[in-house]
Chain A
Amino acid sequence: MKRERAGEPSELDLLAMVCLAPSLLYVLVMFVYPFLYGIYVSLRPMKLDGFSLANYIAFFTDEYQYKTVGITFRLAVPNTLVVVAASLLFAYNMRRGVWLERTITTILVLPISLGVILLSQGILGFYGGKGWFNQILLGIGLLDEPLVLTHNFTGVMLSLFMQQFPFCFLMLLGYISGIDPSIENSARTLGANPWTVFRRVMLPLIAPGLAIAFALVFVMSFATFPSAILLGQPTGATRTIAIAAYAQAFEQFDMPYASAIAVIMGLFQLGALLVIILLRKRMVTAATMGVGKR
């Protein structure tokens, strides 16, 4: 990168600022202000005058509330692992194109366009006690009684997987197919079998993309709300932190407490992102992905 101009004022600065202004304004009004306002509200509990950390203390001293953090992690971490692993498997094997690729991609991506509610209703119907899935397995004698796949942890996992897999798959497919094929070809001619090529050459090159996919899927899973309500047990096993915040806001009408929970949720998400970014920095030592690109 050119560094010669660092430190000197550039003629472009003013123009750059003007061009930047609309998006800057948008971010300020739509994100920074509500975010800061949320923090401000969370620090002014309803029953007290002035600033106080009482809402935060309340959250972390009430088992019913703080265990939502654990529940959310138990949903988000396995879900993220499964989604990223499955996406990697599919995307890696489709990196050079496959037969009927367009059709397969369309089928895989369809769930994105349907929306969470329709998807959840579909899962309820299909995987429910009287749904096709159980009926078929009962019919062919594989099961004696129906599997309970909805209104529990599994139901939420299913729903999250179907929402996030297409998104993650597409992202990784774009990333992996962007890697110059002659890099893996050269590894093959140097004596590496396909597995060695994956492990020693491709995986390190995919790792940065994998980290980003991991981060995004994790953040989405951590904030899960509709799936946890529609397909889970919103008062028990899948009472995620988002449900806790919602309940405070719209059932208890305690907006400051709800804001505090939302801020806590945000902090956990940021923390996880930070960990992933730090790991990613350690993975990419060369940081020269552009080399050898056509």
Chain B
Amino acid sequence: MKDTIESLRFRLTKRFGTKTVLRDFALEIRGKQFVTFLGPSGCGKSTALNIIAGLIPATDGEVWIDGERIDGLPPEKRGFGMVFQNYALFPHMTVFGNIAFGLQLQRRPADEIRRRVREMLELVQLPGFEDRYPGQLSGGQQQRIAIARALVLHPRLMLLDEPLSNLDAKLRIEMRAEIKRIHANLGLTSIYVTHDQVEALSLSDWVVVMRDGVLIQAGPPQEIHDQPANVFVADFMGFRNFFPARITAIGREPAVEAAANGMTLCGRTRHRFAAGAAAVAAIRPDDVVIGGEEGRPNTFPGTVDIVEYLGREDEAIVRLESGARLWVRTEARVKPGEAVRITLAPDRVIFLPADEAGGTA
């Protein structure tokens, strides 16, 4: 089996009964890329992965690899590696048996199998675990074995279906780094499915945000993080503050000015708004600063409502004079009832289309 692919291209529609789970979900992935399908549960991301793996048939569509159409192939003929959320190790086989399974099916010589299993166990940093059973391993160890079991066959495409979701928070961060390290070492083309934006941003070269079976936005992590295409993506990317607004002035690209709740807000946008158009202003709690001089743009007085202690910083809800409530994350300690001035950094305020159909930009 060839180790790398040049490109993977697909267009998928899947219906379960009357419910459409994937609607013309189309994408082209280049070789050696690490691509993430990101979206809330039920958005169709796992279904797409399973169709690519050949485990469920698409209602309509096609999958191509390097000019070869593969959607008619059974999963065992595709040469992909897959890692599952619940590890899916064979409970009746030892770690060695699990990792050797695919090699044994390929009828490799016994000493080659032993050598490659040992190399894989070293790669996932579990040397000497050959004789253990999956039941004797922790969740993190089981997932490492599952990764090793897929990697040992040199898959031309690696599919990972929420591999970290069953792990506790600390282990998840460790394993995330582990996956990053393995991908950096081997340069395998990978598709990673997750609902966790941090995983998506930290691991991927390319993030694909999905909702209700439709591709909403695709791009490099920085772009998804800084320039979400619409309110849905922004919400997913940690923009917690949204205000309905009306564009009042369009400055030099990408600067715009808008009226929101009686305030005048300066910000930026990647959309072409007409003056007077309805928009949504969005800003992350981290980008709201306590303080600022009166009369400066984007600086407003308000009262602290609720404060949550988060250790290094506080998270507070500030009620502005206009009545709007604003999530603020700050290292400045504030108390409930305190009168404060807050500043929304102008390059951090973004304006998004008011209608939900913002679509792909």
Contacts and interface: CB of A to CB of B under 8 A. Distances in A.
B105 A196 contact: yes
B243 interface: no
Interface in B88-102: 88-93, 101-102
Interface in A237-289: 284-289
Interface string B32-73: 000000000000000000100111000000000000000000
B91 A292 contact: yes
Contacts of A130: none
A294 B86 contact: yes
A288 B105 contact: no
B76 interface: yes
B213 interface: no
A1 B288 CA distance: 51
Given A286-B92, A291-B91, A185 B76 contact: no
B91 A186 contact: no
Interface in B129-174: 133-136, 142, 146, 149-150, 153, 159
Contacts of B76: 188-193
B134 A183 contact: no
Interface residues of B, number: 35
B101 A189 contact: no
Nearest to B106: A191
A183 B87 CA distance: 8
Given A186-B82, A205-B91, A286 B135 contact: yes
B53 A189 contact: yes
Contacts of B159: 189
A251 to B, nearest CB: 51
Interface of A: 180, 182-183, 185-193, 196, 200-201, 204-205, 284-294
30 contacts: A182-B86, A182-B88, A183-B88, A183-B90, A185-B50, A185-B82, A185-B88, A188-B55, A188-B76, A189-B76, A189-B80, A189-B159, A190-B102, A190-B105, A190-B150, A190-B153, A191-B76, A191-B102, A191-B105, A193-B76, A200-B101, A204-B92, A286-B92, A288-B92, A288-B133, A288-B134, A291-B89, A292-B134, A292-B142, A294-B86
